[in-house]
Amino acid sequence: MMEHRRFSFPRQLSMCGRYNLHATPQEIQAFFDLFRDDSLTWSPRYNLAPTQTVLAVRSSHGRRELARFRWGLVPFWSKDSKLAASMINARADTLAERPAFRTPFQRRRCLIPATGFYEWKAGPGKAKQPYHIHRTGQGLLAFAGLWDRWDKGPGPVESCTIITTTPNPLMQTIHDRMPVILSPDQWNIWLNHDIPIEAAQSLLQPYAQEDLTAEAVSSWVNNVRNDSVECLRKDTSAATW
């Protein structure tokens, strides 16, 4: 699994640049109402970073399937795969305008499972406090995403990006963007590529703050090479919402 080393320090990313998925394959399949596939394996990941392999749900032949993607979109028309590191997020308000996202937005939308995501809040001096944002009471989240297939290399590369939007009041205290989180009643609309694009666009709103909790966590998460439950350890010296 590839690691992009430049994400090994707590830089203030412009959008959503780190998340976790420590649910079991069976929990993921049940949450998204997927066909049970006992061959699917997934080890708990506490510090997923750009260019690494992630899971996403897409529509295939009228049913939802779980697939592996490289995080960081590589457009099908790109001459090489170097764009991936700069395409980890897509702004909801410019999807129809950006050449890299226009076609995937129309034809290749997906759901990206997560158990939480991280953001860094600027504080006094140069230090930034990491926060873990997750569902109140725990549970899975579904980020709105896009995927594409690039086949100009030795082998095909399927990649994805997480869509971000303006923050809800909770996230405003930490960052100026947040991932689009879709509720189960919105999934069929998002994954249906036959609906008017305006219907998909209307879903890209800030998620209800009442269903989210933001907890200050240990700086252990700052280093992308640290991928253990220690990333979720609370920092009791900082504020929690």
Q: Which residues are catalytic?
A: 16, 119
In angstroms, the CA 181 to CA 170 distance is: 14
238: which DSSP letter?
Answer: S
- Amino acid, single-letter form, for residue 86: S
Identify the CA nearest to 200 among candidates 117, 107, 125: 107
Q: What is the distance of C-alpha 225 from the center of its chain?
A: 18
- Amino acid, single-letter form, for residue 165: T
Burial 98-134 (b: 16+ CB within 10 A, else e): eebbbebbeebbbbbbbbbbbbbbeeeeeebbbbbbb
DSSP secondary structure letters along 167-181: --HHHHTT-S-EE-B
Site of tokens 């090994």: 8
Residues in CB range of 13: below 8 A, 6 or more apart: 119, 120
Both tokens of 54, joined, read 């992630």
Both tokens of 236, joined, read 């009791």
